[in-house]
Structure formats: structure tokens, C-alpha cells
Amino acid sequence: MAYNPIEDLIIETILFLIVFLSFTVYAILKWFVQTTEKVQILRPHKALIAIANNPDNNELTTISNNDNSIEWIDIECKNNKKLYDTKGNVIVIGTPSPKIHTMATYDINGNILTDSSVKVRHEAKKVIFMDPNDKKDEKGKLKKLYQEGYLSKERYNSMMKDLNK
């Protein structure tokens, strides 16, 4: 059998293409996984929990001194996590009962704040709900958290920037 340089060239080209395509597919899959992970990390409720669990932040915490006044939250909401701002306002992240309107702001007694007698006091503590399963209005919920005073303007702008990526 005679030596055929064209066959060797074809085999080398095919091997080169296989290696090149393998690296290309690997790079695309790696990029896709990293991009997908970033989107999941940037969800507002996860970002807020991370902020509250960071001991160096000065906006939110998971610890409250007077937790007894908001017992109704645990009855009305399943699998919840309560975050407190520096004024004692509460963000409840969990699956609310059908009775709770997630876009409403409540007082610590469970009344919608606009209908509550507590609204006349300047220092009324507020409760707002975030449902992690409801992705349709995350920007609106962040805006409401900022307007209600739960988040600083800097934190709000940072989280909105992350959502817009």
C-alpha cells in the first residue's frame, strides 16, 4: 500500500476540527451556566436575604427585639423569612396566604396600612410581603420597598441595575 499524503491531511484536519469544536462547545456551555447562575443570584428576595445575613450592612437584619407583635405573619404565611430594617419595619419573604395582598402595606397588627388607625402615627411599623414564586413584578416590588423606606436609594439603584442586566 502506497503512502498517500492527502489521506493524512484529511485525517489531521478532521482531528483538528473535532478538538476545535469540543473546546467551542465547552466554552459556550461554561458561559451559559455562569450567566444562568448570575440571573438566579440577582433575584430580589435572595439579594435581600443576603444583605440581611451580612453583618457589615446597616440596612436589614434577620433579628428583631419585639417579634411577638407580628405573630399573625407566621399564621398567614408559609415558609417565611422575616427581615427587619433599622426602623423596625418588616419584609416577609415567603408564600403568603390568599388573604394577603402582596402589593399592599400592612401594619404590625395585620391591617392594611391605608385602612389602619395606626397610619396617623409617624412611627407606625410597616410589613410588606415578597413572594419568591412571583417573578412578574420584581422591579415594582423593589420600587415599593424603596418608596416605603425599607431600602436606601443606593441599595435600590444597585438592585435595579442588577435586575436590568
Instruction: Return the pLDDT at 127.
Output: 86
> SS3 for 64?
coil
Domain that holds residue 13: 1-41
Q: Give residue-wise pLDDT tens across range 76-109.
A: 677 888 888 888 888 888 888 888 888 888 888 8
The structural domain count of the chain equals: 2
State how far the alpha carbon of 104 is from the alpha carbons of 1, 48, 101, 109, 143, in Å.
Answer: 85, 19, 5, 14, 13
Instruction: Return the pLDDT at 40.
Output: 44
Average pLDDT score over the chain: 80
Residue 134 pLDDT greater than 90, yes or no? no
Q: What is the pTM of this model?
A: 0.63
Instruction: Return the pLDDT at 121.
Output: 53
Residues 59 and 129 in one domain: yes
Residue 34: alpha-carbon gap to chain centroid: 17
Residues 58 and 36 in one domain: no
